[in-house]
Copies of this chain bind each other. A is one copy, B any other.
């Protein structure tokens, strides 16, 4: 941390009027998009709508000061909101803490964890959330969110953390209260309008002469239009009296200064969810940041991202917000609208603050069904049901890990699902490395290259057996090597040398060292000497610290070709010669 230097120090020095203009324009567009989104995601998180606005003010400024991405837009996002809803509900049930207070605590804990990860250089831990796990989690939580919000469209409650829970709640709600028709009409029209904007509006605008980026930005502002139209409709037709649930009175003003409650039981209950929210938020955010940075040849620092997101979450916890991270859709809008520096985020924060000060009365009549429709449209674009099939087609292990994650999230909730996915990923990786691929190799005639005898036409020796092991040698697979060499040697009576070719061996642990010693001893008893070739530097350094090299009956060769030149010079000359003849 001592070496840490806020990225803002770099870009602020060269900040000028032109850049401010570009950032300001982007901020206006992002603000229009973010106001309804903030209200909607707060609703999804089970919090008062104002919490969404508050989470979109100070956290943006905190990220701008410390984060390394020039264009990432932070704030409330769908999946983190879903995780917040689950975590606060569970903590409330267990300890009696109010959901809003639990959300503050969750953001504070998550912020501290992100800072701790930066200080301890633990950012690599996020890599253990593999692509299939993250992809599966997003698809499954998108489905859960969309289904949960369907309740708002129908005018019934459908809260729950798992598919069975949501379906049961939806069924019970429909059975006891029935569909509220005005709500369905308002919500259904919004949904159709928003889907139309997403799919058709942009091409239409492009045809009408807009630039593709401008068209995209206008299309992304569609929710603001739906919001305005529905507010007017509710006011004119008095739909609230007809049973259409509305946002209601929002407090006007800047975010309150809050202190997360320091309740030990609640802290304990929220530690696990906070860790998962930190990791998922970080993985999501850094993926978006890297994608955008690559387009402009900028670099992202994982440590700076951890600090930026950590600061943003702590900011959220002291200003009435809830956990935030970098969002995909809003960052793309920010980027496409021409944002050049994180100052765009500061301007956006100012825009949201103005909305919180002056626009809250306008949101009183906003139907919850419209917010639900904006959420459904946003999250369904994240759902990719064919992804597990594509993953399976590439590798069964990845397909299984993704399927486990999706089913786990749908059936047992976000935390259990992600945990199951990570465990499945690790188990499948270990299973692969525990059953290493081994190949008997021979010389590709005319080259110094050695390949698998089963796949290539190669020259082999009668007296020298070369086995290439395609895996690091460690406890889980060392015995497999012993077995394989025993059985290969057993059927080759003329054998005088065994060479273990190690270009793929990146580690020889103590268990594997014992196996190599056993192989060396057993071969020696049969009058066969044991050699190694192409041992990598770091592995060789470690072997030199043991007695193995003293006991080894054979030698360690720099290259497999050198081994064959020494152990069977005649065969090697013949194999080398083939191409020289052919070339001459």
| Chain A residues close to B by CB (< 8 Å) | 124, 127-132, 290, 294, 297, 299, 391, 393-395, 397-398, 425-426, 429-430, 432-437, 439, 444, 447-449, 451-452, 455, 470-472, 474-480, 486, 503-507, 509-511, 513-514, 518, 521-522, 525-526, 534, 536-538, 542, 545-546, 558-559, 561-562
Which residues of the partner chain B approach A128 to less than 8 Å between Cβ atoms?
430, 434, 475-476
Give Cα distance in the complex from A40 to B512, angstroms: 35
A452–B433 Cα distance when bound, in Å, is 25
Chain B neighbourhood of A299, CB < 8 A: 486
Question: Residue A429 contacts which of B290, B436, B470, B474 (CB distance < 8 angstroms)?
Answer: B474
Q: Tell me whether A470 and B506 are in contact in the complex, defined as CB-CB below 8 angstroms, given that A447-B448, A538-B437 are known contacts.
A: yes
Copies in the complex: 2
Q: Which residues of B contact A430 (CB under 8 A)?
A: 128, 426
A510 contacts which of B394, B437, B475 (Cβ < 8 Å)?
B394
List 28 A-B pairs, Cβ < 8 Å. A124-B434, A124-B479, A124-B480, A127-B476, A127-B479, A129-B475, A131-B475, A131-B510, A294-B525, A297-B525, A297-B526, A299-B486, A393-B545, A395-B509, A426-B426, A429-B509, A436-B506, A437-B538, A439-B537, A444-B558, A447-B448, A452-B537, A455-B537, A471-B472, A503-B503, A503-B504, A504-B505, A504-B506
Shortest Cβ distance from A422 into B: residue: B475
| Residue in chain B with minimal CB distance to A431 | B124
User: Which B residues are in CB contact (< 8 Å) with A436?
Assistant: 506
Task: Let me know if B131 and A511 touch, CB within 8 A.
Answer: yes
- A87 → B minimal CB distance (Å): 25
Asked whether, in the complex, the Cβ of B545 is within 8 Å of the Cβ of A510, the reply is no
| Min CB–CB distance A13 → chain B (angstroms) | 22
Q: Are B514 and A447 in contact (CB under 8 A)?
A: no
Nearest chain B residue, comparing its CB with the CB of A486: B299
Cα distance A447–B475 when bound, in Å? 34
Query: Quick one: which of B448, B514, B542 contacts A395, CB cutoff 8 A?
Result: B542
A439 cross-chain contacts in B, Cβ below 8 A: 537
**A509 touching B130 by the CB < 8 A rule?**
yes
Closest B residue by C-beta to A511: B131
How distant is the Cα of A521 from the Cα of B128 in the complex, in angstroms? 24
Looking at A439, A486, A509, A525, the one whose CB has the most chain B CB atoms below 10 A away is A509
A456 CA / B482 CA spacing, docked (Å): 32
Residue from the set A297, A430, A436, A476 with the largest chain B CB neighbour count within 10 Å:
A476
Are A561 and B522 interface neighbours, CB within 8 A?
no
Nearest Cβ in chain B — how far from A343, in angstroms?
26
Interface centre among A131, A290, A426, A525 (most CB of B within 10 A): A131
Decide if B447 touches A510 in the complex (CB within 8 Å). no
Q: Whose C-beta in chain B lies nearest to the C-beta of A487?
A: B299
Q: Told that A395-B509, A451-B558, A455-B537 touch, could you supply 18 new A-B pairs with CB distance under 8 A?
A: A127-B475, A128-B430, A128-B434, A290-B518, A294-B518, A294-B522, A394-B510, A395-B510, A398-B509, A398-B510, A437-B538, A444-B558, A444-B559, A448-B448, A448-B449, A449-B561, A470-B536, A471-B506
For the complex, give the distance between the alpha carbons of A438 and B435 in Å. Answer: 24
Shortest Cβ distance from A220 into chain B, in angstroms? 25
How far, in whole Å, are A523 and B114 apart by their CA atoms in the complex?
31
| Contact partners of A471 in chain B: CB under 8 A | 472, 506
Residue of B at shortest CB range from A430? B426
What is the distance, in angstroms, from A163's C-beta to the closest C-beta of chain B? 25
Q: For residue A387, which residue of chain B has the nearest CB?
A: B510
B507 and A504 contact, CB distance less than 8 A: no
A540 nearest CB neighbor, chain B only: B455
